[in-house]
């Protein structure tokens, strides 16, 4: 618990972007040149990102009058923030970008960098503004379209996001474009097409980090469809490309848990949380640990430590504000104070209007006993057709509380998609359906 708690403050500001931006894809490398100082690595490679920062800083010292050098340093700092969850990196990126714009206020790299930084801070309207500006500056370069696509997705402007992604594919059909295309397809329920896009992303990957990213996302797609063997295969491939890739390690932990190997799963989570204590991993570990009816004293102590870390993150977020990781709101809703979860998601909804935020807001309202409000947000989360067992369960539970006739259908759909979607909520869905059958 002490090890986890020590890094909570450092991770909090950046942790909110993990569920959003890191799911979209790696950054663009479109200039066709040799690897450049400060070029960002794909998500999940903290060591690689740190080495890029070191190289970029050295280059900035050598060429302090070059605006592009400072913009590339900012890129490396942003990517390191995303992989190490060190909030100070975003401030360092901000300083580098300001220096770049002082040297040349209209340089494309810095304008695009401002968009990336805005998105990382959940300032998606600003991200959109800079994305549009950069695409006007250079209509035939993909970087600005990546920024624009990321912002539009988080704002829930899916047609605009798709248009930006299509432009990326037209200009530079590489890993960055294919992973964003896959996210769009997945969000709209086209999981088979999303898998095709991710396989193309893996085939066109230029680095082990890009390979790992694509394989991890393929694992998540398989998991969401209940294809446990396929999920395990892709998570293992991601870890073969980048050992200790955090999301692939979490995926394997879930796979172990689904097979009843709770100790192996919790060992994976413990190893992961020591290095990357983000809300998603902490919440998954807590719920798996608490679902183990035969847990020993050591496991119970671990769970208490993980819960303490999440409680600390909730307190700090309430005090300081900042991006809200939906997993943190779900934790507050289910294991803490639902009214706090509502307040967190109400504030986040001002900045983020995508389906993930809509689902978390709906669940927070439900747990706070405000089902009439909750059902509207649950329907927003379902509007694109995303095939998420958790979304279906949340909607079904809310509808069940309201006595709506479609509740059982959505609960059955959740279990049909993946009966292992949650060690806590999947059994609850089964019990709700059984209770409904008894009453009928």
- The full DSSP string for 267-307 is HHHHHHHHH---HHHHHHHHHHHHH-TT--HHHHHHHHHHH
Flag whether 376 is in a domain: yes
Flag whether 318 is in a domain: no
From 172, 206, 239, give the residue that closes a domain. 172
Contact 69, 59 (CB under 8 A): yes
Domain that holds residue 143: 12-172
Q: Find the mean pLDDT for residues 168-191.
A: 96
In this structure, what token pair is assigned to residue 29?
């490398």
Q: Find the mean pLDDT for residues 36-51.
A: 47
In this structure, what token pair is assigned to residue 170?
């037209």
In this structure, what token pair is assigned to residue 371?
């089902």
Q: How confident is the model at residue 37 (pLDDT cuts 50, 70, 90)?
A: very low
* Residue 86 pLDDT: 73
Q: How confident is the model at residue 80 (pLDDT cuts 50, 70, 90)?
A: confident
Higher-pLDDT residue of 323 and 379 is 379
Which residue has 């592009």 as its token pair? 68
Is the predicted pLDDT of residue 68 greater than 50, yes or no?
Answer: yes
Flag whether 214 is in a domain: no
Is the predicted pLDDT of residue 85 greater than 80, yes or no?
Answer: no
Contact 417, 387 (CB under 8 A): yes
Flag whether 232 is in a domain: no
Q: Smallest Cα–Cα separation from 97: which of 121, 77, 127, 124? A: 77
* Residue 27 pLDDT: 67
Helices vs. strands in the chain: H and E counts, helices first: 24, 0
C-alpha neighbours within 13 Å on the C-beta side of residue 419:
6
- Domain of residue 360, CATH code: 1.25.40.10
Contact 213, 239 (CB under 8 A): no
Flag whether 302 is in a domain: no
Q: Find the mean pLDDT for residues 245-271.
A: 95
Flag whether 76 is in a domain: yes
pLDDT digits (tens, 9 = 90+) for 98-152: 999 999 998 999 999 999 999 998 899 999 999 999 999 999 999 999 999 999 9
From 133, 155, 172, give the residue that closes a domain. 172
Higher-pLDDT residue of 106 and 233 is 233
Flag whether 193 is in a domain: no
> What is the count of structural domains for the chain?
2
Percentage of residues in the chain having pLDDT higher than 70? 87
From 147, 172, 197, give the residue that closes a domain. 172
The CA–CA distances, whole Å, from 103 to 53, 72, 100, 138, 415 equal 21, 14, 5, 19, 57
Flag whether 35 is in a domain: yes
At CA 219, angle to CA 119 and CA 191, rounded to 5?
75
Is the predicted pLDDT of residue 437 greater than 70, yes or no?
Answer: no
Is the predicted pLDDT of residue 38 greater than 50, yes or no?
Answer: no
The CA–CA distances, whole Å, from 357 to 30, 216, 338, 371 equal 31, 22, 15, 17
């Amino acid at each position: 618990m002490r090890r986890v708690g020590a890094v909570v403050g450092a991770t909090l500001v950046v942790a909110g972007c993990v569920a959003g931006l890191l799911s979209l894809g790696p950054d663009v490398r479109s200039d066709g040149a040799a690897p450049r100082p400060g070029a960002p690595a794909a998500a999940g490679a903290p060591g690689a990102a740190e080495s890029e920062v070191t190289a970029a800083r050295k280059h900035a010292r050598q060429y302090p009058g070059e605006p592009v050098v400072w913009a590339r340093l900012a890129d490396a700092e942003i990517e390191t923030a995303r992989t190490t969850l060190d909030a100070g990196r975003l401030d360092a990126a901000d300083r580098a970008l300001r220096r770049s714009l002082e040297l040349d206020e209209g340089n494309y790299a810095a304008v695009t960098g401002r968009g990336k930084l805005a998105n990382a801070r959940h300032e998606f309207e600003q991200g959109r503004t800079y994305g549009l500006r950069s695409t006007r500056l250079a209509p035939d370069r993909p970087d600005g379209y990546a920024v624009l696509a990321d912002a539009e997705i988080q704002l829930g402007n899916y047609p605009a996001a798709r248009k930006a992604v299509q432009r990326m594919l037209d200009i530079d059909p590489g890993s960055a474009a294919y992973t964003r295309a896959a996210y769009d397809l997945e969000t709209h329920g086209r999981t088979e097409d999303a898998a095709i896009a991710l396989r193309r992303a893996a085939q066109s990957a230029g680095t082990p980090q890009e390979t790992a990213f694509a394989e991890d996302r393929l694992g998540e797609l398989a998991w969401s469809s209940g294809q446990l063997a396929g999920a395990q295969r892709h998570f293992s491939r991601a870890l073969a490309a980048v050992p200790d890739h955090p999301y692939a390690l979490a995926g394997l932990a879930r796979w172990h848990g689904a097979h009843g190997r709770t100790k192996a799963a919790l060992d994976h989570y413990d190893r992961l949380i020591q290095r990357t204590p983000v809300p998603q991993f902490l919440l998954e570990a807590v719920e798996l640990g608490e679902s183990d009816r035969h847990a020993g004293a050591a496991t119970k102590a671990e769970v208490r430590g993980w819960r303490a870390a999440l409680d600390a993150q909730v307190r700090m977020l309430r005090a300081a504000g900042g991006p809200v990781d939906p997993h943190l709101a779900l934790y507050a809703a289910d294991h803490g104070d639902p009214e706090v979860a509502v307040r967190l998601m109400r504030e986040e909804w001002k900045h983020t209007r995508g389906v993930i935020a809509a689902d978390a807001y709906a669940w927070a309202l439900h747990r706070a006993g405000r089902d009439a409000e909750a059902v509207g947000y649950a329907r927003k989360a379902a509007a694109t057709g995303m095939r998420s067992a958790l979304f279906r369960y949340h909607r079904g539970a809310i509808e069940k509380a309201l006595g709506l006739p479609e509740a059982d259908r959505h609960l059955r759909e959740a279990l049909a998609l993946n009966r292992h979607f949650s060690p806590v909520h999947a059994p609850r869905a089964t019990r709700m359906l059984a209770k409904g059958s008894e009453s009928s």
